[in-house]
Chains A and B, each alone.
Chain A
Amino acid sequence: MSVKKHLKHVKGKKKGGITLYALSTCGWCKKTKGLLNDLQADYHYVDVDLLADDEQAEAVAEITKWNPECSFPTLVIDNSRCIVGFKEQEIRGLLKDAE
C-alpha cells in the first residue's frame, strides 16, 4: 500500500502498535500528537490532507474501515481497533501498560 511509505515513524519507549491518521491543520490532531509524544509512545502517523489525491483516497478507504465517519484524528491500534477523536483518558490508558 503506497500510503504506508508516507507513514512517519515517531520513535518512543512505549510500543502500542499505534497508527495515527491526522490532518496537518487540525487542533485536536495536534493535541493527539502532543499527548503521544508526552507519553513517549512509539507510533506512526500520516497527515492525510497533505497526500496526493490517489493516496488520499487510499488512506480514506483505510480509515473508513475503522471509522466509517472518516473523522480525524483516528488512531488504529494493533490493526484491531480504533480510537476516534482526542480522547485523552483512553489514549493514556492505551499506553499505561505498554513497554
Chain B
Amino acid sequence: MPNREISEAQVDAEYQRLKAEAESGGYHLNPDVAFTKDLIRGLLANEARYGHGACPCRLASGIKDDDLDIICPCDYRDPDLSEYGSCYCALYVSGAILRGEKAAQAIPERRPPESERRGMKAGRSPRHFTTRETSLAYPVWRCKVCGYLCAREEPPEQCPICKAKKERFERFM
C-alpha cells in the first residue's frame, strides 16, 4: 500500500490537532472518525509526497503555486460548507452533519477546470494594486479560505481564524 509509511500514531496525532484547531475556529471535522482518519492519512501522504497537504480527493500537480487553492483547508471549503454542509472530501462538515441531522455525501466539484484557473491567475496579479491610488491608510488583505479581513502592511503569517498560511491571502482593497 502506498501510505504504509504513515503510522497510526501520526494519523491520530494529526486528527487530534486538526479537530482542536477546527473547533476553536467554529469548524467541525466529520464525526465519522474512520472516514476522517482515512482522509487525514491521505493528507499526510500528500504532504510527504508533494511537500504540501493538497486535498486527498483531488489530483494535485505537485507544484505548490498551482495547488495553493486545494491545500487543505481549500479555497472551496467554506462555500461548500454553506451550500452542501460539507467540503469536497468531507473532512469538514456543518453543525447539522456533526449532530447527525444530515448525512455527508459526495458533492460536485467547485474548483474551476485547469484552463479557467490559468486565466484567473493571470487576471489576479498583485501588481494590479501597487500602482493603484487609494485613500486607505493600510492595504486590506483577505484570507481566501475563510474570508477574514485585516488592514495592515502585510498579511499575518497565519490566518487567526482558519490557520491558513500567509500565501493564501489576497489583496482585497
User: B-contacting residues of A (Cβ < 8 Å)?
Assistant: 23-31, 47-50, 56, 60, 68-72, 85-87
- Cβ-defined contact, A28 with B89, below 8 A: yes
- Contact (Cβ within 8 A) B2 A29: no
Collect the chain A residues with CB atoms within 8 Å of residue B108's CB: 85
Residue of B3, B43, B60 near A24 (CB, 8 A) is B3
Determine if B106 and A25 form an interchain contact, defined as CB atoms under 8 angstroms apart.
Answer: no
Interface size on B, residues (CB 8 A): 24
User: Are A71 and B42 touching (Cβ within 8 A)?
Assistant: no
Fill in one digit per residue for B111-132: 1 if any A CB lies within 8 Å of its CB, else 0.
0010000000000000000000
Which residues of A have CB within 8 Å of B1?
Answer: 24
Closest to B105 in A: A86
Binds A, one of B14-22, B33-41, B135-143, B147-155: B33-41
Determine the chain A residues whose CB is within 8 A of the CB of B59 once the complex forms. 23, 48-49, 56, 60, 70, 72
Q: Nearest-CB distance from B85 to chain A (Å)?
A: 15
Docked CA distance A49–B113 (Å): 18
* B38–A69 CB distance below 8 A: no
B106 touches A85 (CB 8 A): yes
Which of B41, B45, B57, B113 meets A28, CB within 8 Å? B57
From DSSP, what is the main secondary structure of chain B's interface residues? loop
Instruction: Name the B residues within 8 Å of A48 (CB-CB).
Output: 59
Q: Report the nearest A residue to B62, measured CB to CB.
A: A53
New A-B contacts (8) at CB < 8 Å, excluding given A27-B35, A50-B2 = A24-B2, A24-B42, A25-B56, A28-B89, A29-B57, A68-B113, A69-B113, A71-B109
A94 to chain B, nearest CB (A): 16
Cβ-defined contact, B57 with A23, below 8 A: yes
Q: Is the CB of A71 within 8 A of B39?
A: no
B90 at the interface (CB under 8 A from A): yes
Cβ of A25: which chain B residues have Cβ within 8 Å of it? 3, 39, 41-43, 45-46, 56-57
Given A48-B59, A70-B59 in contact, is the A27-B109 Cβ separation under 8 Å? no
* In the A-B complex, the 9 residue pairs with the closest CB atoms: A25-B42, A25-B56, A26-B57, A85-B106, A86-B106, A71-B109, A24-B2, A27-B39, A28-B106
Point out the residue from A30, A47, A50, A86 that lies within 8 Å of B38, measured CB to CB: A30
- Chain B positions within 8 Å of A47 at CB level: 2
Give complex CA distance A97, B109 in Å.
30
